[in-house]
Chains A and B, each alone.
Chain A
Amino acid sequence: MSPDLVRDILIATVPLMVIFPTLFAFTTWLERKALARIQNRIGPNKVGVPLTRYGGRFSLFGLGQPLADGIKMLFKENIVPRDADRLFHLLAPILALIPAMLVLCFLPIEFPWTESLLPVQAFLLDGAVIFFFAITGLNTLAIFMAGWASRNKYSLLGGMRAIAQMVSYEIPLVLSAVVVVMMVGSLNAAEIANAQAGWNWFVFTPWGLAAFVIFFIASLAETNRSPFDLPEAESEIIAGYFTEYSGFKFALFFLGEYIAMFAISGLAVTLFLGGGAGPGIATLPWLSAMWFIAKIFALIAVMIWLRGTLPRLRVDQLMGFAWKFLLPLSILNILVAGFAHFIPQENIVSKVAVWVVSLGILYMAAKGLNQLNRPNVRPRDYKYAE
C-alpha cells in the first residue's frame, strides 16, 4: 500500500473515530440530565473537573460524569457465564460496534481537512445509501450473537425480539428513504445532500415530511430506542441481550448503540434535513460540519424527549405497527411523491393545493389504517367490583 493512500485513509477515518465517541460521552450525560429534568430530578451534577475538590465548585453541571462512568466500566470485572460460548460472547460487542462505526463513513459530513481527499470519501460511493442500509443490518447479527452466546433465556428472548423488530422496521425505513432517492435520482449521499442546498430541504415538501416522520419512527425502532426498546425491556427481560455482559464489553454495546443512533440520525439529516446546509456556510465552509452535527443533536434531543414521554409498546403492537401501519403508509407515500412530482407547481396556489391534497391523502390513509388496526375490544364488564 502506498503511504499516501494510508495517510488519506487515516485522515478520512480517524477523526470520525474520535469525534463520535466523544459526542457519545456527551450524549450519555445529556440524556441522563434531560430525563432527570423531565422527571423533576436534578440528574448527575457531582463529578466535575478531575483533581479538583470532590463536589467542589468546579463540578460544571456534572460534565465529568461520562469520564467517571468510563473509568468505572474499564475497571469492572469481566464476567462470562460458565456455559456461555466464550468466543461469541467476546465477539458480539465488537461486532455490534464495527458496523455502527463503519456507516459513519457514509455520512456526507464535509470536514475542512477532508476536501483534498476526495478519492477515499466513502460517501462519494455511488451506492452510499444502499450500503448504509446493508451495513446497518449487520447490527442484528451482533445482537443475536450476544443473546445466543450468553446461554440465558432472557438474553435469547431479547435477541430474538431484537431480530424480529429490526427486520420488520428495516422495510418502512428503506421505503421512506426510497422516496428521496427517487426524487434525486441518485444513491450517492453527497449528491442527495447537494440537491437540498439552500433551503430546499426535503422535509419542507409534503412527501418529504411524511417520509421523514416514518423514517424517524422506524429509526427509533431500528436503534432499540424507547418506546421500541423491547429487546432490552428491563421490566420484562432484565436487560435483554446484554444481561450477561459486564464491564467493558457492556460499554462497547452501549457505545455501539449510541453510535448507531448518531449514524441513523445522520442519515435522516442527509436525506431530509439538507445535510450540512445552513446559514453562513457560503462564507465559512467549515460551518457545514457543525450544522450537520447540530442537526444530528436536534434529532437525538427529540429521541430523548420521546424516551421521557412514551411508555413501551407491547410485542404484538410493535409488529402490528410496523406491518399494518408504517409499511402501507410508506408505500402510499411513494405514490404520493410521484404525483406531487408531476403536478406543475408554478404559483403559490398550486403549491398549497399539492400540500393540502397530498397530506390530506396521507392523513386520511393513516386515520383509516388506525381504525382498521384498532382491536375490537368492548369496555370490560366487571363481575364483582362495583
Chain B
Amino acid sequence: MNEEIAFWMLSAIAVLGALVAVRKRNLIHGVFALMVFFAGLAGLFLLLLAEFIAAAQILVYIGAVGILLLFAIMLTERVAGDDGRRMTSRGWFWGLVAAVAVFVVLLLPPIQQFPSPEHARAIEPSVKELGEKLMHPYVVTLEVLALLLTAALIGAVTAAQGVRMPKEEDSPE
C-alpha cells in the first residue's frame, strides 16, 4: 500500500518533470524541471532498494550534470527564451508522430509479452557488496571508466577552449 502510493507519486513527479523540461521555453526553468525529474527517478531507485544508485543519481545528475547545464546555458544565448523565436524544429509534427510510434510499436508489445514475476524477492541492500563486486569481477571496467572520464575531461576542456586561430589566416587574400 505504502509502496503503491509512493510509486504513483514519484512516477507522476518524474513524468511531469520530464514533460516540462522538454516543452518549457525558458531554459533555466527547463533545467530545474529536469532536476525534478532526476529527483523523482532517484526516489524510484530508492523504492527499488537501489539506494547507492539513488545517491549516485542525485550526486551526479543533480549535483554535477545539472550545474554543468546551467553553466552552459549561462554561457550561451537566450536564457529566458522570450524573444518570440520559434521553439520547435522544422519537422516537429513528424517527430512527435515518430516518437509516439516508437512508444507504441517498439515498447508496448514486448512489455506485454515479458513474463512478469508477481513479487520481488526480499533483498538486503548492501553498498559493501556493490563495492566488492566493483573490485573483484569488474575492476577492469572500473579502470576503463576512469580512463574514459579522464579522456572526457581533457576532451571537454580542449573543445570548450577552442582552437586559437593564427593571425595570418584572418587577413584577406
Q: Specify the chain A residue showing the minimal Cβ separation from B79.
A: A148
Interfacial residues of chain B within 57-85, with CB under 8 A of chain A in the complex: 58-59, 62-64, 66-67, 70-71, 74
> Which candidate, B95-103, B121-129, B151-159, B164-172, is the interface stretch facing chain A?
B121-129
What per-residue 1/0 map shows which CB atoms of B1-20 lie under 8 Å from chain A? 11001000000000000000
| Interface of A (DSSP majority class) | helix
Q: Specify the chain B residue showing the minimal Cβ separation from A186.
A: B128
How many B residues touch A, CB cutoff 8 Å?
26
- CB-defined contacts of B74 to chain A, threshold 8 Å: 160
- CB-defined contacts of B21 to chain A, threshold 8 Å: none
- CB-defined contacts of B56 to chain A, threshold 8 Å: 130, 134
Q: A126, A133, A140, A141: which contacts B125 (Cβ < 8 A)?
A: A126
Q: A126-B125, A126-B126, A145-B32 are in contact. Are A140 and B63 (CB under 8 A)?
A: yes
Interfacial residues of chain A within 122-144, with CB under 8 A of chain B in the complex: 125-127, 130-131, 133-135, 137-138, 140-141, 144
Quick check: B128 and A185 within 8 Å, CB to CB?
yes
Quick check: B5 and A1 within 8 Å, CB to CB?
yes
Cα A138 to Cα B35 in complex, Å, equals: 10
Q: A160-B74, A186-B128 are in contact. Are A138 and B52 (CB under 8 A)?
A: no
Quick check: B2 and A2 within 8 Å, CB to CB?
yes
Max chain B CB contacts within 10 Å: which of A1, A126, A137? A126
Would you call A187 an interface residue if the criterion is a C-beta within 8 Å of the partner chain's C-beta atoms?
yes
- CB-defined contacts of B128 to chain A, threshold 8 Å: 126, 185-186
Q: A2, A88, A127, A148: which contacts B127 (Cβ < 8 A)?
A: A127
Cα A287 to Cα B162 in complex, Å, equals: 60
Cα A115 to Cα B62 in complex, Å, equals: 33
Q: How far is the CB of B1 from chain A (nearest CB, A)?
A: 7
Cα A185 to Cα B70 in complex, Å, equals: 36
Quick check: B55 and A131 within 8 Å, CB to CB?
yes
Q: How far is the CB of A280 from chain B (nearest CB, A)?
A: 33
Q: A1-B2, A5-B2, A134-B59 are in contact. Are A140 and B67 (CB under 8 A)?
A: yes
Max chain B CB contacts within 10 Å: which of A85, A88, A131, A186? A131
Q: Top 6 closest A-B pairs, CB basis? A: A137-B63, A134-B58, A134-B59, A130-B55, A126-B127, A134-B55
Chain A contact residues, CB within 8 Å of chain B: 1-2, 5, 85, 88, 125-127, 130-131, 133-135, 137-138, 140-141, 144-145, 148, 160, 163, 167, 170, 185-187
Chain B contact residues, CB within 8 Å of chain A: 1-2, 5, 28-29, 32, 35, 51-52, 54-56, 58-59, 62-64, 66-67, 70-71, 74, 125-128
